[in-house]
Structure 1
């Protein structure tokens, strides 16, 4: 595992970040995540804005290198195909105004949108292995995950439904 793994894995879809533009690409931007030394990401401007900015109009979104922008983590992927031994993956960010307010992604269990922004109904599950640095993120509604946990494991089901949320008002004091 390389030294950047903890910093990269600490990022979660739906998380707001600050990004500094480091280069322009034909499809968008490469950026560094501010406050996370050495952790880079991409912003696919063509995918995000080509419908709203047809033709060459899209290039007005290519802000100067060095500019800092607000963004939301869209995907965290990291895998190493064994047949080629080539590392692939990365962090994708969105700068869509609507995503900065409330970020949604489709649930990997039911296919319906789930909100990953704070207070939303979604969870990001880190899928890791002890056999190497491979990993990726699964997106799920709280309910979809809870339904897939064995019924007799009520504690884990409850955790899936409540992680990151305030405790119910009728919970006993600690």
Structure 2
């Protein structure tokens, strides 16, 4: 029996992408959700309410009031995806600022980068020929281009242009 090298259904999802989610359950730390359209993909998706809202709320009751009701559909944005082993884990944000424009840190330089459409982020998924799993890397265009060998100007130029319409 051949080993599946990597799961592919979740590759359509990427950090900065807006999605709809259905709230399945509440937990002390946040909520477990199902991403609409990926119900049978074997994903584990959640929203860490403590991480997102504990600094802006003054009490535990105020934080609990922000938890979306079980069964409700909500707008969310993908913060992170972890694919290195099954199940694929997706962390979502429902903060208003993130829904407007999600910022993250470049995995090369550590500076802030906008992942939302119109931002300067590239999302790279690295995979191995040796086995399953993949890892998502977020990068500024110029950070990736700078790491491509100077004697390969075509690939450097493509890194600066990928996804841009002009």
- TM-superposed deviation, 1:88: 6.9
TM-score by length of 2: 0.89
* Structure 1 position 52 matched with structure 2 position 51: no
Unaligned runs of 5+ residues in structure 2 are none
Matched position secondary structure for 1:5: coil
1:18 is aligned to 20
Residues 112-152 of structure 1, C-alpha deviations (whole Å, 9 max, x = no match): 00111111111111011222222121110000000000112
Distance 2:32 2:132 in 1: 23
* Structure 1 position 28 matched with structure 2 position 30: yes
Matched position secondary structure for 1:145: helix
Kept in 2, the 8 Å contact 1:30–1:41? The answer is: yes
Give the CA RMSD over aligned residues: 1.7
Runs ≥4 in structure 1, deviation > 6 angstroms? Answer: none
- TM-superposed deviation, 1:62: 1.5
Kept in 2, the 8 Å contact 1:33–1:40? The answer is: no
Unaligned runs of 5+ residues in structure 1 are 81-86, 168-174
- TM-superposed deviation, 1:36: 1.6
TM-score by length of 1: 0.85
- TM-superposed deviation, 1:10: 1.5
- TM-superposed deviation, 1:89: 5.8
Distance 2:118 2:34 in 1: 27
1:5 is aligned to 7
Distance 1:133 1:37 in 2: 22
2:111 is aligned to 112
Matched position secondary structure for 1:79: coil
- TM-superposed deviation, 1:22: 0.7
Work out which structure has the larger RCO, using CA pairs closer than 8 Å and 6 or more positions apart in sequence: 2
Distance 1:130 1:37 in 2: 28
Matched position secondary structure for 1:74: strand
